[in-house]
């Protein structure tokens, strides 16, 4: 049973059914008992009259005793005209009232009507002695032996309903409150800074809504811990990245102050480091904005073929200065939904990275094809490639491959992280792999616009 709502509903339903079933069982028991144990009162009146006429009052006393033996749990009363039992036994209150009504109505002391229709309650048969004395037969219930034999079982049914509903409610309260208390304790511990706090397998393995909530809480805790660790790593990396160009600026400034220093060279160095700082700060701001973006991003129709052609033309200018080139042949127009500037930045970061590391005299290969409902952009260089173990990390902020892609190459280590974030926001995928001919191949897959 995976639904907590269904569990609660069925629990109360079953409790109600148990109470109703108990009530029905008690009623059925009493009905069966009354059916099997109830004597025929008119037949008893006829027997009493015969015994009285044949054997007199003494024989009638003996008959009463034998009749009560035949019907255990019953009292057989023979009431005189004065409303008293012939054996001087006290009548039940209702019977006394009934006997008085018979006496007041004048039925004692005269012959009863043959059809009994003049009987005030049409229930009690009357019979007469030889001298015309009128008697009436009444049947009473003896003191009950057990609660089920009581004439009024409402108290028993109420007690049973109270016990059943109490057990069901206790079980439900324990079933619901236990994981909620654990969730509350875990939430307070997490809020206090214990990032390793989890609800635990005891509750997260449940298949109802509380189990889903426990699993979501653990997933949230894992995500929070990852985000905080990532932010701390990012802050450390940013401080290190900013410290390096600042240190070089101080060195260049110190060298420029020396006598006979090459002022122009040092100013060029200062300008270069200032540009690197500006680029680094701009990329960090862009990455920070992308991390805080809401799921709803600007969506406008973009011809990715035209966009890619613009990026390639700009990259060719940069590549030609280093004896490199970019091979690209425009094809059919492919349209997707996105933000023009973000998409341009994502593609440009990969292409400029490829141009930077491809060998002089080689060309970066760029292609765009349609694959089912996606646009696949592939950018392949002829550089040193990336060790297989590090391919999964090159899209992380400030990550560089030590062998070839270090700070001296001019990169900041943020460009590919921006690409991965932009592509992910637009439900796309980006992956890197080493090309068969050497170098790195980066594939960007984006969903096409649906008309």
Give the span between the Cα atoms of 331 and 49, in whole angstroms.
Answer: 120
Which conformational region is residue 109 in: left (phi greater than 0), alpha (psi within -120 to 50 degrees), or beta?
left
What is the three-class DSSP state of 440?
A: strand
| Per-residue exposure over 278-296, b if at least 16 CB sit within 10 Å of its own CB, e if not | ebbeebbebbeebeeeeee
Residue 237 pLDDT class (50, 70, 90 cuts): low
Model confidence pLDDT, tens digit, residues 187-212: 888 888 888 888 877 777 777 777 88
Model confidence pLDDT, tens digit, residues 36-64: 556 778 888 888 888 888 888 888 889 88
- Which pTM value belongs to this model? 0.48
Mention every residue, 6+ apart, whose C-beta is less than 8 A from residue 259: none
With beta carbons less than 8 A apart as the criterion, state whether 157 and 19 touch.
yes
Give yes or no for residue 120 having a pLDDT over 80.
no
Residue 183: what pLDDT? 84
Residue 405: what pLDDT? 45
Give yes or no for residue 111 having a pLDDT over 70.
no
With beta carbons less than 8 A apart as the criterion, state whether 358 and 409 touch.
no
Give the span between the Cα atoms of 268 and 368, in whole angstroms.
Answer: 39
Give the span between the Cα atoms of 244 and 272, in whole angstroms.
Answer: 13
For residue 444, the 8-state DSSP code is: E
């Amino acid at each position: 049973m995976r639904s907590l709502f269904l569990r609660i509903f069925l629990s109360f339903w079953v409790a109600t059914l148990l109470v109703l079933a108990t009530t029905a069982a008690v009623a059925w028991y009493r009905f069966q008992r009354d059916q099997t144990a109830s004597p025929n009162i008119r037949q008893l009146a006829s027997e009493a009259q015969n015994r009285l006429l044949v054997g007199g009052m003494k024989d009638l006393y003996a008959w009463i005793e034998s009749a009560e033996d035949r019907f255990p749990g019953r009292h057989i009363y023979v009431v005189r005209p004065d409303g008293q039992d012939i054996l001087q036994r006290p009548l039940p209150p209702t019977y006394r009232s009934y006997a008085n009504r018979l006496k007041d109505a004048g039925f004692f002391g005269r012959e009863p009507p043959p059809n009994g229709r003049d009987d005030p309650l049409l229930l009690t048969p009357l019979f007469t002695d030889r001298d015309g004395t009128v008697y009436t037969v009444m049947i009473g219930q003896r003191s009950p032996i057990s609660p089920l034999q009581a004439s009024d079982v409402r108290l028993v049914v109420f007690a049973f309903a109270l016990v059943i509903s109490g057990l069901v409610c206790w079980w439900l309260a324990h079933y619901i409150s236990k994981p909620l208390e654990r969730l509350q304790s875990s939430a307070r511990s997490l809020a206090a800074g214990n990032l390793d706090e989890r609800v635990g397998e005891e509750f997260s393995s449940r298949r109802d809504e509380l189990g889903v909530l426990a699993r979501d809480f653990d997933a949230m805790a894992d995500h929070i811990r990852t985000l905080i660790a990532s932010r701390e790593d990012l802050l450390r990396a940013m401080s290190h990245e900013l410290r390096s160009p600042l240190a070089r600026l101080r060195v260049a400034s110190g060298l420029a102050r020396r006598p006979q220093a090459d002022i122009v060279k040092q100013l060029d160095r200062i300008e270069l480091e200032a540009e690197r700082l500006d680029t680094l700060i701009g990329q960090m701001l862009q990455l920070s904005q992308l991390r805080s973006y809401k799921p709803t991003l600007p969506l406008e129709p973009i011809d990715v073929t035209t966009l890619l052609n613009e990026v390639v033309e700009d990259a060719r200018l940069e590549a030609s200065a280093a004896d490199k080139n970019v091979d690209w042949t425009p094809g059919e127009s492919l349209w997707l939904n996105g933000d023009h500037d973000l998409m341009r930045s994502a593609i440009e970061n990969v292409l400029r990275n490829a141009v930077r590391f491809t060998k002089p005299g080689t060309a970066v290969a760029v292609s765009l094809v349609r694959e089912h409902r996606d646009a696949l952009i592939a950018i392949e260089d002829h550089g040193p490639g990336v060790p297989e173990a590090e391919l999964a990390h090159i899209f992380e902020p400030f990550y560089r491959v030590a062998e070839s892609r270090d700070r001296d190459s001019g990169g900041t280590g943020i460009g590919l992280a921006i690409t991965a974030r932009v592509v992910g926001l637009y439900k796309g995928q980006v992956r890197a792999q080493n090309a068969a001919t050497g170098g790195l191949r980066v594939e960007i897959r984006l969903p096409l616009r649906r008309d």
